[in-house]
Structure 1
Amino acid sequence: MKSVSFRSLWIGQAFANLGDVFYIVGMISMMYSVSQSAFFLALLPFINTVGRFTSGYLSPLLFDKYRLKSLLCFSQISKTVVFFGLALWLTWTDGVFSFVLFGVFLLAFLDGWADPASRAMLPRLVGKEEIVRANSLFSVVSQVIQLGGWALGGVLVAWLGGRSVLWVTFLLFVVASGLMLLIRDRTNVAVGTGEAPAASVLKRGWQAIWQTPVFRSIHIVLFLESMANVVWIAAIIYVFVSEVLDKSEAWWGYINTTFFIGLLLGGLLTAVYARLMERHLFRMLLWSAIAVSIFTVVFGLNRAAIMALVLSVLFGICEQIKSIAMETYLQKKAEPEDLPNIYGAQGALTSLTFGIASLTMGALAEAFGVQSVFLLAGGLLAASAGYLFFVRGRFLVTLKSEHQEEKTV
């Protein structure tokens, strides 16, 4: 990973993501002290999700007209400017709720195309033999931020106060903007004129997914996985801890922590053994898919608190390996100009599926008990593993053709 551009993207995204966590923590602290309203606080992540979904859905229109580096730089610099205005406003006043919510939406909207753009940029900045390790490093940094960012943000709020944390966030955004400017994308990928009908542009990612058997299979698995992984959201785990494990709410935090530790370990393992995973990519994908279904079912049937922690770590490890394997397949097989649109469509599919499934699983947990939704989730994950085995020829052909290309080169 000697590429300066890759390091700039990797570290820049880390600073940007840490800033996103800090600003939400600081905002929650400030707004709750003013409003004393749990409903208003719940609106913050909701508005953030709506903004990201809207932007992600419309992102192909931007990918059709502008280069990825330009979009990444514009996104981060614009976020920095908008956040500066929002931080000034909240420093001088207690804030008008509607203005704050609009600011949160605008920041999320500006960030919505950055994720598919950065993921599509990654394979352009490293060699094909380094893609597994690059994806692993991205995942490790993301999990470290998710694992420690919220805790560190809480400490900073307690030490410095919510307003000061907002200015820490601003500094992180400034550094991230500078790092994005250092990226050099030397791939010769043409962009469109922006004159194509919007409807046809928005369909490009979906068409690429549907017309390529491997991509179609990956997104069927992602669809099933998005429904199944809802069982790991805070609301369902909280109920599971209370009703099944018969433990205090502190154990909800322990399970979340061990889950993220598992994701972190999975990322580290794939980074260390990247060459081995490269040689056995489909086997790793299939066996990790089988493992996550088994661990989900066993977790749902288990009543021992310590075993729940062990299972959440094991699930996290296998889930991370599975995700990195699918990401690698996409990045190796897709044409550079198609990849941003594919990621845009993927983000819309998974976020919409996850949102609907959250309500469905919550209703099922209330009607039939929380253990039943873990069994259902395990069944969905088992179905995805069975489907992968059934269509294994598509993946093996992809690997074979790539190895032949490498030998030719």
Structure 2
Amino acid sequence: MKKSFYYLWGSQTLSNIADLLYTLALTMLILKESGSIIVTTLIPFFVVISRLISGFFAPLMIVRFRLPSLILLSQMSQFLIFILLYAYVTASKENLNIFIILAFVFTLAFLDGWTMPSRNALIPRLVDNNALLKANGIISITDQVVQFGGWALGGIMLMIIGPHYMLAIISLCYGITAFITLFIDDPTEPPRKHLWDLRSYSKEKSELTDSHWKEMKEGWVALWKSARLRSLLFMDATEQFGGAVWAGPFILMFVLEVLNKDEQWWGYINASYFAGAVIGGLILISLVKQIEKKIVLCMLGGTLGYVIVTVLYAVNSNAFLTLCIVLFTGPLTELANICRRTIMQRSVDNSILPKVFSAQYVVLSLIYGLSLLMMSVLADSFGIATVYIIAAAISGLAVIVGWVNRKSFSQTNQSEQNAASVNRSV
């Protein structure tokens, strides 16, 4: 793993912490100002819509900037916008305009829509091919640790110092994140002439005579033409659709209606899931050589295990047994997700990979938003336990598609060989 990978790892970890803390702080501010749960839920809605729009236009940015530079532009802009948000909240005090706050949320999410595809596409450029699975595991574990500890520690910080001081800390986090990102260097690009040399100079990306439409659709075309990528996208999409039932409101409803427990158990279940995800990531890293040899079977096994565990969760009404079941959900989802991401990273040429991830990001964001609405309707109509059975059945489709296409996943294509040779030569 090259030094730039650790800079990427550190900057994205700090960025994720800032994103989580600002969601907590703004949720409290809007809830306190409006007194309405419905208005407060506009925050995740605006985030999903904004990232969806951002994903469509991400290829236009990817073709013009180095991937580290695109992440830098995103995070530097978030830093500046968050300073404005902090100044507005401080100046307005008790007279906050909710629509102005939501406008800030929309802008921040739009900028963040460039970061995730760029990060996932940059990882295989910063590690050797045989270390890619381990690198994805490290990134995934850190994401889960942030989620696992962030909500609890963030909530405590919020109660102690209040949302206004929390926003000041978040601004500092974004500033440090942007500074660390300055040191990330893409080895597939020529050396930078100076620190602020942001433009991409690779041959494929420098041919800016192509139409914007061609640049925007290139990732979509790659997804459609490759049976391997189509299958991976379908598996991601079905799990994303079914995975919406693990959003907070659904878990809370399950706790109240099925387990007959209070809201405290909502926190226990969330903690159990994220603890399982961290444990799963650690197991994956420790067994990376064994998993690498059977990566396709591990991917399918993780997905199938997740389906079985979700069914057990739905039919169980014992609270303590539920915690044990959810604990197993984490390792299985981590195994399936990390294996899928690694296979996708090895299936596309590095020059096209960011656009492929952008297209995937758009699809998954759209599906997640639609799933939240549809699952809410089904929960009201058939009960929350039935919704988890439906979600498991939808995720089961991913296993069927993966099994049918298992041979295409196992084939080592030319782009994977090229990626390996480039990594060895850099």
* TM-score normalized by the length of structure 1: 0.94
Gaps of 5+ in 1: none
Amino acid of the structure 2 residue aligned with 1:126: V
- Deviations 1:235-255 (Å, cap 9, x if unpaired)? 222222222222222222211
CA–CA separation in structure 2 for the residues paired with 1:242 and 1:169: 34
Bigger Cα displacement from structure 2, 303-312 vs 189-198: 189-198
Once the two structures are superposed, residues 107-138 of structure 1 have per-residue CA deviations (whole angstroms, 9 ceiling, x without a partner) of 11111111101111111111111111110111
Residues 272-320 of structure 1, C-alpha deviation per residue, up to 9 Å, x if partnerless? 2222211111121121121111111111111211111111111111000
User: Counterpart in 2 of 1:326?
Assistant: 340
Q: Which amino acid counterpart does residue 332 of structure 1 have in structure 2?
A: R
C-alpha distance in 2, partners of 1:367/1:42?
A: 21
Contact 2:60 2:216 in 1 (8 A): yes
Equivalent pairs counted in the alignment come to 407
Change beyond 3 A, Cα 1:400–1:102: closer
Match of 2:214 among 194, 200, 204: 200
Within-5 A mapping of 1:115-194:
115-188=116-189, 189-190=202-203, 191-194=205-208
Matches for 1:101-116 after TM superposition, within 5 Å: 101-116=102-117
- The answer to whether the aligner puts 1:57 opposite 2:56 as a matched pair is yes
The offset of 1:342, in angstroms, is 0.9
Question: 2:197 corresponds to which residue?
Answer: none
Equivalent residue letter for 2:160: W
Relative to structure 1, is the Cα distance of residues 89 and 193 closer, same or farther in structure 2, using a 3 angstrom cutoff? farther
Stretches (4+) displaced over 6 A: 403-407
User: How far 1:401 sits from its partner (Å)?
Assistant: 9.6
Q: CA deviation at 1:36?
A: 2.9
Q: Is the aligned partner of 1:362 residue 2:376?
A: yes
Query: How do 1:41-52 residues align onto structure 2 when only pairs under 5 Å count?
Result: 41-52=40-51
Contact 1:65 1:193 in 2 (8 A): no
Cα displacement (A) at 1:187 = 0.6
Q: Percent identity?
A: 31
Partner of residue 193, structure 2: none
Matched, 1:99 2:100: yes
1:247 aligned residue: 261
* Structure 1 residues 8 and 298: CA distance shift in structure 2, 3 A: same
Distance 1:77 1:186, change over 3 A: same
Correspondence for 1:230? 244
Name the SS for the 2:137 alignment partner.
Answer: helix
1:68 aligns with 2:82: no
Secondary structure of residue in 1 paired with 2:41? helix
Which amino acid in structure 2 is aligned with residue 291 of structure 1? G
Q: Structure 2, unaligned stretches of length 5 or more? A: 190-201
Counterpart of 2:312 in 1: which secondary structure? helix
Q: How far apart in 2 are the matches of 1:224 and 1:24?
A: 27
Contact 2:346 2:419 in 1 (8 A): no
Report deviation, 1:55: 0.8
Tell me the residue number matched to 1:344. Answer: 358
Are 1:76 and 1:177, in contact at CA under 8 Å, matched by a contact in 2?
yes
| 2: CA distance, partners of 1:138 / 1:68 | 17
Letter in 2 for 1:8: Y
Aligned to 2:35: 36
Judge conservation of contact 1:136–1:324 (CA < 8 Å) in 2: yes
User: How far off its partner does 1:85 sit?
Assistant: 1.3
User: Are 2:211 and 1:211 aligned?
Assistant: no
Matched, 1:286 2:300: yes
Secondary structure at the aligned position of 1:337 is classed as: coil
Deviates more, 1:174-183 or 1:294-303: 294-303
Q: Which amino acid aligns with 1:64?
A: V
Q: 1:37 to 1:363 in 2, by over 3 A?
A: closer
TM-score calculated relative to the size of structure 2: 0.91
Q: Write the distance in 1 (CA, Å) between the matches of 2:261 and 2:414.
A: 50
Distance 2:419 2:235 in 1: 27
Q: Go from structure 1 to structure 2 and tell me whether the alpha carbon gap of 1:406 and 1:85 turns closer, same or farther (over 3 Å shift).
A: closer
Q: Deviations over 1:149-175 (max 9, x none)?
A: 122221112111211111111111111
Deviation, 1:210, is 1.4
Distance 1:406 1:93 in 2: 55
1:102 shift after superposition: 1.3
Q: Indicate conservation of the 8 Å contact 1:26/1:157, yes or no.
A: yes
Distance 1:400 1:347, change over 3 A: closer
Shift of 1:180: 0.3
AA partner of residue 40 (structure 1): V
Instruction: Give the drift of 1:402.
Output: 5.7
The verdict on how the C-alpha distance between 1:351 and 1:91 changes in structure 2, with shifts beyond 3 A counting, is same
Q: 1:310 to 1:89 in 2, by over 3 A?
A: same
Q: Which position in structure 2 is the counterpart of 1:307?
A: 321
SS of residue paired to 1:187:
coil
Q: CA RMSD in A?
A: 2.0
Letter in 1 for 2:3: V
Cα distance, 1:74 vs. partner? 0.7
Q: Distance in 1 between matches of 2:88 and 2:377?
A: 40
CA 400–279 in structure 1, closer or farther in 2 if over 3 Å, else same = farther
| Kept in 1: contact 2:252–2:266 (CA 8 A) | yes
Amino acid at match of 2:370: I
Q: Offset at 1:404?
A: 11
SS in structure 1 of the partner of residue 262 of structure 2: coil
Change (3 A) 1:186 1:150: same
